[in-house]
Amino acid sequence: MKRKILAPSLLSADFGNLQRDIEMLNRSAAEWIHIDVMDGRFVPNISFGFPVMKAVKQHSEKFVDVHLMIVEPEKYASQFVQAGADLVSVQVEACTHLHRTVKQIQEAGAKVGVVLNPATPVMMLEDIIAEVDLVLLMSVNPGFGGQKFIENTYRKLAETKNLIEKNNSSALIEVDGGVNLENASKLFAAGADVLVAGNAVFSTENPENTIRELLG
Ligand code: DX5
Ligand code: ZN
């Protein structure tokens, strides 16, 4: 049986009570914690950077999954590894030298993921798939939590699965954006290994229960 992993996105947490929310995640069935870093250039929003990342690391017992939505990620990726990232994912659209950036993250000591925006085709990964630990498929246009899931993601999931098999890659597939109680089990069944959920987790009265429900 394939493992199902949930990665709650801290973007929708209560920043005034960050330690409380991180401790809730520690008690929960979620194995990962998803950290969305936005620079106001690659995406039209600014989230947070190293100080928050360090605070997360201080309190979290979970695998730290960092999603960089920034231009020139090669400038900061290693620093995120030093700040405690277990995995760093970079947007393919933001990398002029993707192979070099992938190697840089691995050499810094973390696992590495590559991210595709909704309009970026899966074939962009053909020459890098054998090198990476994870493919992150954006199922909304990145920048904000709480957006509507884009249905074309199912087709991209199938294509990504084929590409991984064809290349004997061990990469996991993560889906990010608009994941909720209605589509989570369908996405796991369609081949997703990791689901990110922000709004669906933190907007509910009992996030710990919701996390269990999302895992099915
Ligand atoms: C979107 C971020 C997502 C986002 C997911 O730009 O990359 O991780 O926080 O949030 P929900 O689950 O609310 O769509
Ligand atoms: Zn994300």
Q: What is the ipTM of this complex?
A: 0.98
Q: What is the pLDDT of residues 66-111, one digit of tens each?
A: 999 999 999 999 999 999 999 999 999 999 999 999 999 999 999 9
Q: Do the Cβ atoms of 115 and 91 come closer than 8 Å?
A: yes
- Ligand at minimal distance from the CA of 141 is 1
Residues with CB under 5 A from ligand 2 (ion): 36, 67, 176
Q: What is the pLDDT of residues 117-141, one digit of tens each?
A: 999 999 999 999 999 999 999 999 9
What is the number of domains present in the chain? 1
How far is it, in rounded angstroms, from Cα 25 to Cα 7? Answer: 10
CATH number for the domain that contains residue 117: 3.20.20.70
How far is it, in rounded angstroms, from Cα 15 to Cα 12? Answer: 9
Backbone angles phi, psi at 67, to 5 degrees: -110, 105
CA–centroid distance, 37 to ligand 1, in Å, is: 11
- Ligand at minimal distance from the CA of 195 is 1
Instruction: Give the distance between the most distant pair of CA atoms in the chain.
Output: 46
- For 71, the domain range is 5-215
Q: Do the Cβ atoms of 70 and 45 come closer than 8 Å?
A: no
Q: Do the Cβ atoms of 90 and 84 come closer than 8 Å?
A: no
Which ligand 1 atom sits closest to the C-alpha of 144? 6
Task: Answer whether 9 contacts ligand 1 (Cβ < 6 A).
Answer: yes
